[in-house]
Structure 1
Amino acid sequence: MKIALDVDGVLADVIQSWLNYSNSIRQEIQKHEIIDWDFWKKFEIDRYDFYAELSSCWKNWTSIPPTEENLASITKNLSDIGQVDIVTARERSTDSFVKNWLKYHNISFDNYVSVIHGPMKADLDYDVFIDDSPLNASKFLENKKKVILYSQPWNQHITENKIHRISNLSEAIQKLN
């Protein structure tokens, strides 16, 4: 089994790091208020500023918390089920920081695959995608791919029956077994 595992929002809580930065320079936003993928529009934040700031957070990768505890053992157990590849969409300049973060947190994976835009992941040859993006989830379904959606405030509106929703990564292991 080939498993595509996302980083931002599934393994790394980079949005929390971004919130820490953003809240120091503009109106305060709480994570639970981020209920849309393109939430920056609601808060009148320029899209390019948001993405630049998010990429900048990765430069300080040691400050990015994991989404949950015990990710090292959970990803090891996931690797026992099949090939686990980190499949992420990001600015290429952040790849080395992400790889450092993965190594620092002892995340088990076979390959690191970076694409330019999230929906491009759906064109890759994986049996299942574990992701938090509602845009990616829709594209995976369009391409008849299996989706495990990691619950975040920005994907709660997704109710498609063919999507398996999880609130922690251990639940993915149960679903895949």
Structure 2
Amino acid sequence: MMTTDNTIALDLDSVLADVMQIWLEEYNNMFQKNFTKNDISDWHIYNVLPITKEEISSLFIRVWKNRWQDIPPTSNDIADVTDHLISQGFRVSIITKRERVTVPFVSYWLDLYKVSFNDLIFIFDDVSKNRFPFFLLVDDSPINAKEIISPKRIVIFDQPWNRSLVSYDRIYKLNQLLGLL
């Protein structure tokens, strides 16, 4: 797909929704552990914790289905930021890879936090986010970072699992994106 000049794509998990906080609460309760988000130093959680890919996915599904109301935003002003982007003429696409059973809970979460957007794009397979129309992606995934090719841009949303990425623009809160536009 071609670049869309005014579309900013925002990842959901760990960019808007701080889902790892609740995921780790669940993991720690299940296995009587005490891991924190800073312990997750690799995108592939199974390289850090003794857990399989299937168990990781199952736990994410459980968190989104049963605890979506407990998932905090990454900052309290994400709705203000998305409102501002739209008022400035940007098209905001929320783009997220996930299991189909979590779709309604994502919608409920976005409504709960009054996050404005023009498009909500769910990816259910291994298609690269680069194939979707946007000029800028905000994401926490090192894999997605490497797949974005010019003229598209990526801004890394800082998380412990992406700190090895050094040659990318990086933000720590969504409102810092405004200074990069």
Settle same-fold status: TM greater than 0.5. yes
Deviation at 1:80, TM superposition (A): 2.4
TM-score, length of structure 2 as denominator length: 0.91
| Residue 144 of structure 1, CA deviation | 4.6
Match of 1:45, SS state, is coil
Q: 2:14, 2:64 → 1: CA distance?
A: 13
Alignment counterpart, residue 105 of structure 1, candidates 84, 107, 113: 113
CA–CA separation in structure 1 for the residues paired with 2:23 and 2:85: 28
Equivalent position of 1:3 in the other structure: 8
CA contact (8 A) 1:140 1:147 kept: yes
Paired position in structure 2 for 1:147 = 154
Is the Cα contact below 8 Å between 2:11 and 2:94 reproduced in 1? yes
Quote the sequence identity (%).
Answer: 34
- Residue 96 of structure 1 deviates from its aligned partner by 0.6
Q: Where do 5+ consecutive residues of structure 2 fail to align?
A: 1-5
Structure 1 consecutive aligned stretches of length 4 or more whose deviation exceeds 4 Å = none
Deviation string, structure 1 residues 48-96 (Cα, Å, up to 9, x no partner) = 1011101110012101111111211111112223000111110111111
Correspondence for 2:3: none
Task: Please name the residue that 1:120 is paired with.
Answer: 128
Q: Where in structure 1 are there 5+ consecutive unaligned residues?
A: none
- Offset at residue 40 of structure 1 (A): 2.1
Change (3 A) 1:83 1:166: same
> Could you say what the CA RMSD is over the residues aligned between the two structures, in angstroms?
1.4
Aligned AA for 2:12? V
* Match status 1:83 vs 2:94: no
Could you tell me whether the CA contact under 8 Å between 2:97 and 2:122 is conserved in 1?
yes
1:168 aligns with 2:173: yes
Which SS does the other structure have where 1:109 is aligned? coil
CA contact (8 A) 1:119 1:135 kept: no
